[in-house]
Amino acid sequence: MADTPYRGRFAPSPTGPLHFGSLVTALASYLEARVHQGQWLVRIEDLDPLRESPEATDSILHSLRCHGLIPDAPVRFQSRRHGAYQNAIDQLLSDGIAYRCACSRKQLKEHHGRHPEHCRQGQSAPGNRLFAIRFALQDEICHWQDELLGAQTQQVTAEVDDPVILRKEGFYAYQLAVVVDDIDQGITDVVRGSDLLDMTAQQQQIYRALGATPPNWLHIPVILNEDGQKLSKQNHAPALDDRQPAGNLAAALAALGQKPPANLSQQPVENILAWAIRHWQREAIPLTSR
Ligand code: GLU
């Protein structure tokens, strides 16, 4: 991909307002894109109306704007992309790389991830029952290079790990949609939290199944709260205070191992971002969560 212009993105799921951990991820992906004279996109991954809300989307987009993180193209919404996900599923089904599966989680657990109904062999007869569609992984020990964490080795186990790509409730799943959109938007470099590290080998197989080359990945350590839990919406991480964007950005830079001068947080947001682009040191990002 040496000659392809850099294209990065920040892709939050709108399950709550932006918190400090997601600001750190957004900022890292923004700075990587800027330092590479690339484009930076924002994509709202609103695939699950039961867990997500339009208020959260508005609040995330508002927070990004307050922090000067303005994307280079109109924001994309996955809720408007169902046709593309269905096309990908149709292609995978007709290529025999996806299959219908009516097994319950309980059944799969009892059978150690194997499908009692032999769904992968197409022997499950869904009839009128609810079924999910799963991607059929290949057994593989996947070696790949993370731009920050270095050489990675991930074991992919066919059948046991097969991800759902269309849920029984009829919602398209993250694992498929993220790949379909990253391909469609020409994303060359994914910068995201290391909580998604384990998904990467599976996603590489989905890229290849859809006839695309996987991008570069850079996983940044997740920010932990005082109890050592990931700062996340599920753990009730507090929303960012949008009235303090300068202080938030300076703290996010410090969390990324950068050394902003003490008076930087007195500056307008634009100056902070300009400083951060000039002084960005990817190697300074801490390798472990904190
Ligand atoms: N939407 C995912 C999340 O909020 C991130 C997707 C990605 O960066 O690959 O956790």
Ligand 1 atom nearest 203 alpha carbon: 9
3-class state of residue 10 by DSSP:
strand
Sorted by sequence, the CB contacts under 8 Å of residue 111 that are 6+ apart come out as none
Rounded to 10°, the helix 20-35/245-255 angle is 80
> Is position 92 within any domain?
yes
Output the pLDDT for position 6. 97
Ligand 1 atom nearest 45 alpha carbon: 1
Ligand 1 atom nearest 22 alpha carbon: 4
CA angle 138, 144, 148 (to 5 degrees): 145
Residues with C-beta less than 6 Å from any ligand 1 atom: 11-13, 45, 178, 192, 196
pLDDT, tens only, 167-214: 999 999 999 999 999 999 999 999 999 999 999 999 999 999 999 999
Q: Separation of 186 CA from ligand 1 center, angstroms?
A: 17
> Is position 88 within any domain?
yes
pLDDT, tens only, 118-136: 888 877 656 667 899 999 9
Which residues are 272's β-sheet partners? none
Q: First-to-last CA distance in the chain?
A: 32
Count of the separate structural domains present in the chain: 1
The DSSP H or E segment spanning 87 is helix 82-94
Amino acid at 12: P
pLDDT, tens only, 228-284: 777 676 666 789 999 999 999 999 999 999 999 999 999 999 999 999 999 999 999
Q: Separation of 193 CA from ligand 1 center, angstroms?
A: 8
E strand residue ranges, 176-236: 189-193, 216-220
Ligand 1 atom nearest 196 alpha carbon: 9
> Is position 84 within any domain?
yes
43 contacts 181 by C-beta, under 8 angstroms: yes
> Is position 253 within any domain?
yes
Output the pLDDT for position 230. 72
Rounded to 10°, the helix 269-279/20-35 angle is 60
Of the candidates 89, 264, 107, 118, the residue with the CA atom closest to the CA atom of residue 180: 89
29 contacts 10 by C-beta, under 8 angstroms: yes
> Is position 134 within any domain?
no
23 contacts 269 by C-beta, under 8 angstroms: no
> Is position 163 within any domain?
no
3-class state of residue 231 by DSSP:
coil
> Is position 94 within any domain?
yes
Band (pLDDT 50/70/90 cuts) for residue 62 is: very high
Q: CATH number of the domain at 200, please.
A: 3.40.50.620
Domain span at 89:
7-99+180-284
Q: Separation of 70 CA from ligand 1 center, angstroms?
A: 18
Lowest mean pLDDT among 57-66, 110-119, 224-233: 224-233
> Is position 150 within any domain?
no
